[in-house]
């Protein structure tokens, strides 16, 4: 699994986001929310729960003999600090190394997909290959993001 | 291997490099309902399922006790989610009854609610299926049996109508000839019409009467 790590201005804590489907399922069970709706019209509650799911794989452990894990409230606090930056990293974490062509704005993606022969998986792979090979100008389309290797993180419980 | 898997279009999903057949039997649908709270007898919108429900639906459709929903979840990411959802939709389609003909314009949708209890009771009473037999069948298989049973019943009804009309017409008391349709409270399909136009033989009558309960 690939990771996205980031720090926010004025906050020494390093946050690491990992998209793990099972953790998403666990957070759904805990919150009663359907996190698949994150990929459509997302609400604040869905965004916060998805952030919790992305943080949990790395931000949990045992401290002083007690188990701890990042909480929904802490995820909400992080969003409060800088929602635009945090949700940007969330998008990266969810799509990193994956089918990110699906997240490319249609105006950019459609001509490439059309050239590749449609929208099926094979065409998408070809479109991604075209973009990665620099054969198509990516314009403002987000591509795979170079992420610094994360350092071990200690998070207060 | 389940008989339903042989009788349904084959749907396989690559889970961790191994192809797994997928099918929804009544047993698996009941388990899904227990785990997710989703009423699988109602129309299920597969596009609206949560991540957890997707993992549970797929795990139950695979039906391998060595594969849990977390094993399935480990292989799902943004790149594979579409493949998993497609396989889920294909398996669902392969397990569910063929769609009925489109309703006539202005015809109200059926208000008949279908509970698991009713589904089980009807399968036992009408189709004489045992519990285990029914649990291991897909709704598509049971529907196929219902269709055959329904056709048999219509043929029996037509036969009774023809017999009734023959008795009245040969009694010498009918003021005008009576048609078999007068005894039937149903619209005739093309297939029914074929049966209606066919001959009425003694063997047919005996076969139809053989279905009636016998006195002890």
Q: Name every chain A residue with its beta carbon within 8 A of the beta carbon of B50.
A: 25, 28, 33-36
* Residue B192 confidence (pLDDT): 75
B55 with A19: Cβ contact below 8 A: no
* Residue B206 confidence (pLDDT): 79
**Which H or E element spans position B165?**
helix B139-171
Q: Name every chain A residue with its beta carbon within 8 A of the beta carbon of B79.
A: 97-99
Closest of A84, A57, A46 to residue B51, by C-alpha: A46
* Residue B47 confidence (pLDDT): 80
Instruction: Please say if the pLDDT value at position A107 is more than 60.
Output: no
- Token pair, residue B199, equals 């001959």
Is B45 an interface residue toward A (CB < 8 Å)? Answer: no
How far apart are the CA of B66 and the nearest CA of chain A, in angstroms?
17
A24 with B51: Cβ contact below 8 A: yes
How far is C-alpha A38 from the chain's CA centre?
A: 11
Residue B73: phi, psi to the nearest 5? -60, -30
Is B42 an interface residue toward A (CB < 8 Å)? Answer: no
- Token pair, residue B163, equals 């017999």
Give the model's confidence band at A89: pLDDT under 50 very low, under 70 low, under 90 confident, else very high: very high
Q: Which of B49, B51, B73, B84 best tests the A interface by mutation, with the highest count of A CBs <10 A?
A: B51
* Residue B69 confidence (pLDDT): 94
Is B120 within a domain?
A: no
What is the Cα–Cα distance from B29 to A115, expressed in whole angstroms?
42
Q: What is the ipTM of this complex?
A: 0.73
Q: Name every chain A residue with its beta carbon within 8 A of the beta carbon of B73.
A: 21-22, 25
Rg for chain B (alpha carbons), in Å?
23
* Residue A127 confidence (pLDDT): 62
B50 with A95: Cβ contact below 8 A: no
Give the model's confidence band at A7: pLDDT under 50 very low, under 70 low, under 90 confident, else very high: very high
* Residue A13 confidence (pLDDT): 92
A99 with B51: Cβ contact below 8 A: no
Is B189 within a domain?
A: yes
Is B149 an interface residue toward A (CB < 8 Å)? Answer: no
DSSP 3-state of B15 = strand
A28 with B54: Cβ contact below 8 A: no
Closest of B81, B147, B75 to residue A22, by C-alpha: B75
**How many C-beta atoms surround the C-beta of residue B39 within 10 A?**
14
**Which H or E element spans position B118?**
helix B116-127
Q: Please state the domain count of chain B.
A: 2
Measured CA to CA in angstroms, residue B17 lies from B72, B76, B144 at distances of 12, 13, 34
Domain extent at residue B156: 140-209
* Residue B109 confidence (pLDDT): 58
**Which H or E element spans position A14?**
strand A14-18
* Residue B210 confidence (pLDDT): 75
Choose the final residue of a domain: B36, B67, B95.
B95
The residues facing A7 across adjacent strands are A14
Q: Strand (E) positions, B65-179?
A: none
Is A73 an interface residue toward B (CB < 8 Å)? Answer: no
- Token pair, residue A17, equals 């986001």
Q: Which of A2, A4, A18, A22 best tests the B interface by mutation, with the highest count of B CBs <10 A?
A: A22
Q: What percent of chain A shows pLDDT beyond 70?
A: 59
Is B14 an interface residue toward A (CB < 8 Å)? Answer: no
Q: Name every chain B residue with its beta carbon within 8 A of the beta carbon of A97.
A: 79
Same domain for B147 and B73 = no
What is the Cα–Cα distance from B165 to B177, expressed in whole angstroms?
8
Instruction: Please say if the pLDDT value at position A137 is more than 50.
Output: no
Instruction: Please say if the pLDDT value at position A31 is more than 90.
Output: yes
| Share in percent of chain A as helix, strand, coil (round to 5) | 50, 10, 40
Is B118 within a domain?
A: no
Q: At what angle do helices B139-171 and B190-197 cross, to 10 degrees?
A: 40
> What's the average model confidence in pLDDT over A98-126?
58
Q: Any idea where the domains of chain A sit in the sequence?
A: 1-98+146-157, 105-141
**Which H or E element spans position A7?**
strand A3-7
Is B78 an interface residue toward A (CB < 8 Å)? Answer: yes
* Residue B45 confidence (pLDDT): 86
Same domain for B80 and B7 = yes
Closest of B131, B105, B97 to residue B4, by C-alpha: B97
* Residue B2 confidence (pLDDT): 75
For the whole model, what pTM was predicted?
Answer: 0.72
Instruction: Please say if the pLDDT value at position A153 is more than 60.
Output: no
Is A95 an interface residue toward B (CB < 8 Å)? Answer: yes
Is B124 within a domain?
A: no
* Residue A86 confidence (pLDDT): 94
Split chain B (216 residues) into runs of 10 and give each run's mean pLDDT: 78 88 95 93 85 95 93 86 86 87 62 77 92 94 90 83 85 83 75 74 76 72
Q: Please report, for chain B, how many H helices and E strands are present, in that order.
A: 10, 2
Choose the final residue of a domain: B27, B61, B95.
B95
What is the Cα–Cα distance from B67 to B56, expressed in whole angstroms?
11
> What's the average model confidence in pLDDT over A41-58?
93
Same domain for B84 and B16 = yes
Q: Checking DSSP bridges between strand A66-69 and strand B12-15, what pairing results, if any? A: unpaired
Return the top range by mean pLDDT from A1-10, A67-76, B98-107: A67-76
């Amino acid at each position: 699994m690939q990771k996205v790590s980031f720090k926010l201005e004025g906050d020494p804590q390093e946050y690491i986001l990992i998209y793990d489907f099972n953790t998403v399922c666990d957070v759904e069970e805990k919150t009663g929310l359907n996190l698949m709706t994150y990929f459509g019209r997302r609400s604040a509650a869905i965004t916060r729960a998805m952030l919790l799911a992305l943080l949990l794989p790395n931000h949990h452990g045992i401290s002083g003999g007690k188990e701890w894990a990042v909480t929904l409230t802490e995820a909400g606090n992080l969003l409060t600090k800088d929602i635009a930056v945090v949700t940007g990293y969330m998008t990266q974490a969810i799509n990193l190394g994956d089918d990110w062509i699906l997240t490319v704005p249609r105006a950019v993606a459609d001509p490439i997909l059309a050239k590749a022969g449609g929208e099926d998986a094979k065409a998408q792979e070809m479109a991604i290959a075209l973009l990665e090979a620099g054969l198509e100008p990516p314009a403002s389309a987000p591509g795979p993001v170079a992420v610094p290797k994360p350092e071990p993180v200690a998070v207060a419980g | 291997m389940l008989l339903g898997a042989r009788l349904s279009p084959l749907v396989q999903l690559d889970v961790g490099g191994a192809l797994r057949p997928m099918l929804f039997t009544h047993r698996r649908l009941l388990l899904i309902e227990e785990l997710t709270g989703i009423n699988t007898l109602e129309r299920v919108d597969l596009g609206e399922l949560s991540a957890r429900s997707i993992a549970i639906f797929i795990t139950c459709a695979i039906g391998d006790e060595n594969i849990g929903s977390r094993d399935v979840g480990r292989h799902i990411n943004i790149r594979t989610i579409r493949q998993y959802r497609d396989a889920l939709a294909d398996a669902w389609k392969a397990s569910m009854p063929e769609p009925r003909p489109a309703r006539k314009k202005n015809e109200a949708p059926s208000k008949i609610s279908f509970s698991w209890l009713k589904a089980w009771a009807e399968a036992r009473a009408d189709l004489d299926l045992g519990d285990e037999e029914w649990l291991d069948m897909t709704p598509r298989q049971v529907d196929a049996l219902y269709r055959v049973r329904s056709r048999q019943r219509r043929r029996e009804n037509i036969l009774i109508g023809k017999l009734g009309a023959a008795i009245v017409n040969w009694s010498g008391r009918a003021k005008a000839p009576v048609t078999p349709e007068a005894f039937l409270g149903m619209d005739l399909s093309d297939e029914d019409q074929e049966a209606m136009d066919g001959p009425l033989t003694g063997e047919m009558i005996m076969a139809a009467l053989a279905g009636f309960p016998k006195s002890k």
